[in-house]
Structure 1
Amino acid sequence: MDEAEGEAAPPASVKSRPVDPSLTHWTVSDDWPERVPVTEAEIDLFEAWFGDILDELFGKSA
């Protein structure tokens, strides 16, 4: 079976640089505000997706 019959060609390989496992040259900065604003819609979405897991971990809210 060839591409014309519906079989996809294999993906092209991508060459990348080797990973340097040393963390000596990494920098981490924290420029987030003390309080991060979150909307009600974001809370609703998070509760919809993770509510069951959070209930298992912390118990149901009153």
Structure 2
Amino acid sequence: MMCESTAYLVTPEGESKVMDYVVNIIPEEGGRLFLTDILGEEKMVDGMLKEVDLLKNKIVIEKAV
């Protein structure tokens, strides 16, 4: 069973999708998260991990202020 999740960024304006099929999250210095998807695409997101729901395959990131 594969365990890819979709990452969403939460801002005061609402929630928006950042990346599909996320398989790896690495916290970086300065309040950033380094995301990698199943195909090896990478993305840096300014924010902190707010919630990971593995049953719903959902990752929620709160935008850094």
Select the structure that is richer in strand.
2
Q: Structure 1-normalised TM-score?
A: 0.14
Compare relative contact order (CA 8 Å, sep 6+) and give the higher one, 1 or 2. 2
Larger helix proportion, structure 1 or 2? 1
* TM-score (ref. length: structure 2): 0.13
Larger Rg: 1
